[in-house]
Amino acid sequence: MKRILTGIVLSLVLGGVAPAAEIVPPADVPFDEYGSVETSLSGTPGDPENGRALMNKGAGNCVACHRVSELEELGFLGTIGPVLDGAADRWTEADLRGIVADAKRIFPETMMPSFYKTGGYVRPGDGFTGEAAEGELAPLLTAQEVEDLVAYLMTLHES
Amino acid sequence: MKTRMLSLAGLLLAGPALADPDDDTLVINGEIEIVTKAPAPAHLEDVFDTIISGWHYRNDETQAIEADDFENPGMLGVEAARDDWFEVAGTGEESCASCHGEPEEMAGVRPVYPKWNEDAGEVRTLAMQVNDCRTSRMGAEPWKYAGDEMTDMVALISSVSRGMPVDVAIDGPAQSTWEAGRDIYYTRYGRLELACANCHEDNNGSMIRADHLSQGQINGFPTYRLKNAKLNAVQSRFKGCIRDTMAETFEPGSPELVALELYVASRGNGLSVEGPSVRN
């Protein structure tokens, strides 16, 4: 956040040129009191098509736990989390960004992993190898992937 | 705020499990009646009314395989262990049978393990006890903790207790180990921050993608899994589950997994010993 402010101040000083899109690091995400995040994490609009792809296997794997009617073709959608149909009607974009980034802020007991966080883990592993993680951990999703997922979720209106 | 209230309603509507365990009954070889549902033990009463074997969460085809020893591939491991049972090994020139007689003499052992060993001053699993026999009594090499020979032997010892109720002690000298296991059960490990309880206590009956989540009972171990076509030791399964939370996992035979085995076994006190069971 400090870096972003510095960027803004600098650009003002240098004559009002818009600052380049800057990534908000996981530790600096400006969650509000409720757990929502108003501002983009990447500064680049999300791509709903890539968000849709992330819902399936891979980094997101949201359908392991959530059902979405629009994704039924993938088969064997999970039933642990709430159905995501109509998510865009029930939540604001800021809410969805907060939930994808770190759902435990809004639902402290939730089983949902925190996808944009890098610390506070018990025995963090090196992927799914079972070995200890070494060095600095990357979040489960990049800032842009969070934005892409949020963009996809914002397309889910009740028909 | 209105949107948030609505979303809570959405959560509630989505709550009920879509694929609850079934109501079939399990009789092995037409004669061994298996208790696959039982009242929860006292220490678990606040969590479950009924404890349920993982057998109920599998489809009819998989269930049927376990009901017939000629169909159950896990019995091949039992037969292999029967050969080992009578085989003289080590400097002591003895076999398991030299002291214990027929494997059937071990009926009643499986239900009470893991168990406090007074002389050793520790809680021991069946695998630990087998290796203690091999090294200190037989003068033989220990088997790999969750290797095939050990897992087969645990399956043999389990098989002769099928139908008997699991009854591990959780108090007295075993209590501190049991409590350590309980702490592990409720710890959210790894970068996915998942505890055993997240899936097997809070969400059993639900689907995690194509997998039907059970209560995670271990009365059926060792378990022949169609997925990897072999008998699986319970602590290998624990290791795999913890690995899948994106965690640095624990090794079979570690104090952590021994404690976890005691604790999880105790959650099944009252179910029948089923091993070697068949799962997918």
Tokens of B95: 């076999």
| Residue ranges of B 5-64 with Cβ closer than 8 A to chain A | 6-7, 10-11, 13-14, 17-19
Chain B nearest C-alpha distance from A112 (Å) = 8
Q: Give residue A58's pLDDT.
A: 77
Q: Looking at the annotation, which residues of B are catalytic? A: 241
Q: How far is CA A90 from the centre of its chain?
A: 17
A125 vs B3, B191, B198: nearest CB: B191
- Is A156 inside a domain boundary? yes
Say how many domains are in chain A: 1
Domain range spanning residue A106? Answer: 35-116+139-159
- Measured in angstroms, the CA of A150 and the nearest CA of chain B are apart by 16
Whether A29 is covered by a domain: the verdict is no
**Which residue type is seen at A112?**
M
Is the CB of residue B188 less than 8 Å away from at least one CB of chain A? Answer: yes
Q: What part of A 67-96 touches B (C-beta under 8 Å)? A: 75-83, 86, 89-92, 95
Judging contacts by C-beta atoms under 8 Å, the chain B residues touching residue A133 are: 191, 248
Query: How far apart, in whole angstroms, are the C-alpha atoms of residue B197 and residue B217?
Result: 12
Cα distances (Å, whole numbers) of residue A36 to A151, B148, B193: 15, 51, 21
- Residue A25 maps to a domain: no
Residue A84 lies in a domain: yes
Cα angle at B164 between B86 and B101, to 5 degrees? 20
In a domain, A65, yes or no: yes
Q: Which amino acid is at B114?
A: P
CB contact (8 A) between residue B194 and residue A128: no
The CATH number for A48's domain is 1.10.760.10
Of A79, A91, A121, the CB nearest to B206: A79
pLDDT reported for residue A57: 77
pLDDT of B153 > 90? The answer is: yes
A110 interfaces chain B, CB cutoff of 8 Å:
no
Give per-residue pLDDT as tens, A48-89. Answer: 999 999 999 777 899 999 999 999 999 999 999 999 999 999
In a domain, A131, yes or no: no
In this prediction the ipTM stands at 0.88
Contact A124 B191 (CB under 8 A): yes
What is the average per-residue pLDDT within B196-219? 96
CA A111/CA A5 separation, integer angstroms = 34
Whole-prediction pTM: 0.90
